[in-house]
């Protein structure tokens, strides 16, 4: 149930019986040999599949986020923190103004975390509304499934390599990279980060069998659907 495939009258009709919606958020940033839009692709797809199962409207994905760390890699787009917080707040204000009161925000990028802290403030200002911020990729059940599959993985590794994030004609390296020291990486400039990581994979194999990835995806789908359908009070 995509907002892009609805008109305003259909939205108004939906709101007469339900006040839930889904807003996906991602990023446009380097993911080694995978699409620059991995985070947006996965958040949008998960939102679309959950929305279809629950018959709940899904807004277009917010494709840009906070990706300062990756700006030395061509194609990366980042917003300033104040810009991103304002963007999320304005989007939520508009969605609430339309009549939605229960908003599931499916986030696909860890760097967007500052916006999560702003949500309590937004709900304080709008006590009739609730926003659930859902980092789908490391939600409890999904993360457990990831660790069961392979405990070594990180940004731009097999963990984000789904059939939908791969690029046609691009061959992936064999083997795996050593896990990056995240504490050390956090102190680096974007250029030093690129020099340290080379291709952008932060650690782990580049690819695992699609059957394993689809099993993780199914857990993520079920976990996200359960979040949409319960616990709003």
pLDDT in tens, 221-230: 999 999 999 9
Tens of pLDDT along 197-206?
999 999 999 9
Do the beta carbons of residue 100 and residue 21 sit within 8 Å?
Answer: yes
Q: What is the pLDDT of residues 24-45, one digit of tens each?
A: 999 999 999 999 999 999 999 9
H-type helices in the chain, by residue range? 8-15, 38-54, 81-98, 113-125, 140-149, 182-185, 190-197, 210-229
| pLDDT tens per residue, range 168-206 | 999 999 989 988 888 888 899 999 999 999 999 999 999
100 within 8 A of 125, measured Cβ to Cβ: no
Question: What is d(CA 165, CA 163) in angstroms, rounded to the nearest whole number?
Answer: 6
114: burial class by Cβ within 10 Å (0-12, 13-18, 19+)? middle
The answer to whether 51 and 58 are in contact (CB under 8 A) is yes
Give backbone dihedrals phi and psi of 205, rounded to 5 degrees, phi first: -65, 160
Q: Sketch out the chain's domains with CATH numbers.
A: 3-229 (3.40.50.10310)
Using an 8 Å Cβ cutoff, are 195 and 29 in contact? no
The reported pLDDT for the residue numbered 231 is: 85
Helix axes 210-229, 38-54, angle to 10 degrees: 50
What are the tens digits of pLDDT across the range 4-21?
A: 999 999 999 999 999 999
Q: What's the predicted TM-score (pTM) here?
A: 0.95
């Amino acid at each position: 149930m995509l907002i892009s495939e609805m008109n305003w009258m259909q939205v108004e009709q939906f709101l007469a019986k339900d006040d839930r919606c889904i807003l996906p958020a991602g990023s446009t940033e380097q993911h080694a040999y995978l699409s620059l839009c991995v985070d947006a692709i996965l958040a949008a797809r998960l939102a679309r599949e959950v929305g279809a199962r629950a018959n709940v409207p899904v807004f277009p994905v917010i494709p840009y986020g906070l990706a300062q760390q990756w700006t030395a890699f061509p194609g990366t787009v980042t917003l300033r923190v104040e810009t991103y917080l304002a963007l999320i707040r304005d989007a939520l204000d508009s969605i609430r103004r339309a009549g939605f009161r229960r908003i599931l925000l499916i986030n696909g990028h860890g760097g967007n975390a500052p916006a999560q802290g702003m949500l309590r403030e937004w709900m304080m200002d709008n006590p009739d509304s609730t926003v659930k911020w859902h980092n789908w990729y490391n939600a409890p059940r999904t993360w457990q499934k990831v660790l069961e599959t392979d405990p070594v993985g990180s940004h731009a590794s097999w963990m984000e390599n789904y059939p939908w994030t791969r690029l046609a004609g691009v061959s992936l390296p064999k083997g795996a990279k050593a896990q990056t020291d995240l504490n050390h990486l956090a102190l680096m400039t974007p250029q030093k980060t690129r020099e340290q990581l080379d291709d952008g994979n932060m650690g782990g194999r580049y690819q695992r069998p699609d059957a394993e990835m689809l099993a993780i995806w199914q857990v993520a789908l079920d976990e996200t659907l359960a979040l949409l359908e319960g616990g709003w009070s």
